[in-house]
Amino acid sequence: LGEARILTEVVSPDGIPGTAQGFASFDAIVLADVPATAMTGAQMTAIREAVSSGGRGLVVAGGEHTFGQGEYAGTPLEDALPVTVQLPENDQASTLAIVIVIDRSGSMSGIDTRDRRASRMDLAKEGATLAIETLREGDQIGVVAFDYNARWVSEIRPLRGPADFRTVADRIATIQPDGGTDIYAALDVAYRGLQATQARVKHVILLTDGEGTPAPFPNLLNAYRRANITLSTVGVSSEAGKTLLQDLARRGSGRYYFTDTPSAVPQIMTQEARLAGRAHKQERDFKPRLAAASSAVRGLVPNDFPQLHGYMRTTPRPGAEIILTSDQEETVLAQWQYGLGRALVWTADLEGPWSRDWVGGDAFRSLWVQAIRWSMPAPGNPNIAVRVLPSPEGDGTRARVLVDAWAPGGGFGDLLASSADIAGPDGASRRVNLSQVAPGRYQGDFDARSPGVYFVRVTQTDTSGEVVASEIAGFDRAYPVEHAPAWGNRTLLERLASESGAPAIPTPADAWRRDTIHRTAPRDIWPELLMTAVSLFVVDVALRRLRPTWADVRGVVATAKRIARMPVTATAHAWEWFVAWPGQGNAR
């Protein structure tokens, strides 16, 4: 990719952004053998939204930890892929051998908190019995129980009729809890039993509620891998060793289940038995076949394709384009438009044992450069202009995509296959083909009756299928006026109150409070100022004529206090005040 001038940033699953905005600086997302269990729900939702609404590209390369064996089923990530990991219900492996390994340690006698009539052991035995009922005649089944030691409850045997089913079920019913937990010994017994069978699919289901004793599990799981035996694990309580069971399932190319509700064990066991009956992983030598043209495989010669040695089985979705298939017409390379973005899957691995003949070759290099470039959003193109407007036709519930295209050398861009991928406010996407209506002008209508924002991505290709232009536009369908909120315009009320100098009343009850009413109005104050000036003039004249001393002032104050204490008339008060003032004898 570096030689093709595609800048890359490599992160572990922990480094995947948890929001769609976190992918804003990237054009494409590539997942290489990443199981869904290594990502959070928020991370997978962010990837889906970055593709559907953000127009980013998504490329998923397979491996033993992806698709059906990577627990993609039902996740937001699977929504964005052109394939689903679920295989048809009637799609069974030609031969199947399963060994159910059941923990019979003393802790399995614990009572289920929801169904107090049943112990963990009772529910484990019920789950194993129900799992057997999902098998077909001709399949092989074995049951191992373990505590400190492991023993066959029912050795591996083919199921040829109802009598065989009943025999195995009766033997499962004899298991009783006692002792400790030696997981390694039990898995070793199951391995030796399956190694001797000729079944095409060999699978072990381990059910335990304990941690297990330390043991060389990596060596044993390497032997499982060499014998094409897969392993799934079920933890039945919070005391079950989650880290160990997850690691066993990962190394064993199986699935890990955990439940703190033992009553869920029968359903888990039944589901796992059904999945084991469908071989997701296919390992054989074949040359991929070209099923359809795509810019991802441009320039590659099918006869020169190197061999692949395996892939993960999937089911194509309606609308997906299958580019490469296996010798059995199963998907190897598929692509599709998802919302505003594009997604592509390669069901073989990227650089593992399945594609070892491809790695380092010219075909491998060309395939991945072209595949990733195909998924990326096209850069802004000066030769195309896109507008989305209300359609003048119909009842006002439709919108019209208008595209003006120009040729790179000048003139109009004519005879281009044009389409618009529309992502509506409900998250659903659809494609509308655009018709040429004038030189360089293309248009098409779509239903836009739902209020909200519509994202539109227009793509134009020439007669060879080469993308010559791509552009994104938007359209906002406003809510009808009758759906506008019925409450008042608070902003307008606050502005009116501010302009009039009054405060805004927070609640209707406050309208009757007098302390919230403040009125202001301009008025003339010259009469008050005139009276004040005249009064000060009289006082000034009096002070200049009488010229009182501080002793006179103190005498006047003392006389005033004495008069205030006497019950006399106002006239007497006034007279005594006058005669007490200094210089009264000189008054004229």
DSSP 411: S
Tokens 């044009």 locate to 418
pLDDT at res. 88: 65
SS3 227: coil
CA pseudo-torsion sign 95, 307, 218, 279:
negative
Give 141's DSSP letter. E
Q: Mean of the pLDDT values across residues 336-359? A: 90
Neighbours of 549 (CB within 10 A): 9
Separation between Cα atoms, residue 155 and residue 167, nearest integer Å: 11
Closest of 60, 143, 158 to residue 104, by C-alpha: 143
- Give the helix ranges, DSSP H, for 197-241: 217-226
Nearest to 266 by CA among 102, 124, 122: 124
| pLDDT tens digits, 200-209 | 788 999 988 7
CB distance 204 to 229 below 8 Å: yes
Task: Give Cβ neighbours of residue 154 (< 8 Å, ≥ 6 apart).
Answer: 141, 142, 143, 167, 168, 171, 172
What's the confidence (pLDDT) of residue 325?
Answer: 94
- How much of the chain exceeds pLDDT 90, in percent? 29
CB 206 within 8 A of CB 233: yes
Query: Over 70: is that where the pLDDT of 517 sits?
Result: no
- Partnered with residue 146 across adjacent β-strands are 103, 150
Per the confidence metrics, is the pTM higher than 0.75? no
Angle, alpha carbons 273-211-123 (nearest 5°): 40
| 296 neighbors 28 (Cβ within 8 angstroms) | no
581 φψ region: left (φ > 0), alpha (ψ -120 to 50), beta (else): beta
Give the three-class secondary structure for 113. coil
Domains in the chain with CATH codes = 13-87+282-375 (3.40.50.880), 96-267 (3.40.50.410), 384-482 (2.60.40.1930), 485-516 (no CATH), 540-586 (no CATH)
Q: CA quadruple 536, 540, 542, 548: dihedral positive or negative?
A: positive
In tens, the pLDDT along 265-315 reads 777 887 777 766 656 778 889 999 999 988 888 888 888 899 999 999 899
**183-195 vs 217-226: helix crossing angle, rounded to 10:** 20
* Residues in CB range of 531: below 8 A, 6 or more apart: none
What percentage of the chain exceeds 70 in pLDDT?
87
Predicted local distance difference test score (pLDDT) of residue 45: 93
Asked if pLDDT for residue 474 goes beyond 50, the answer is: yes
Residues paired with 384 in a beta bridge = 405
Which two three-digit tokens encode residue 225? 């891998």
Going by DSSP bridges, is the β-strand pair 311-312/281-282 parallel, antiparallel, or unpaired? antiparallel
Most confidently modeled range among 332-336, 352-356, 513-517: 332-336
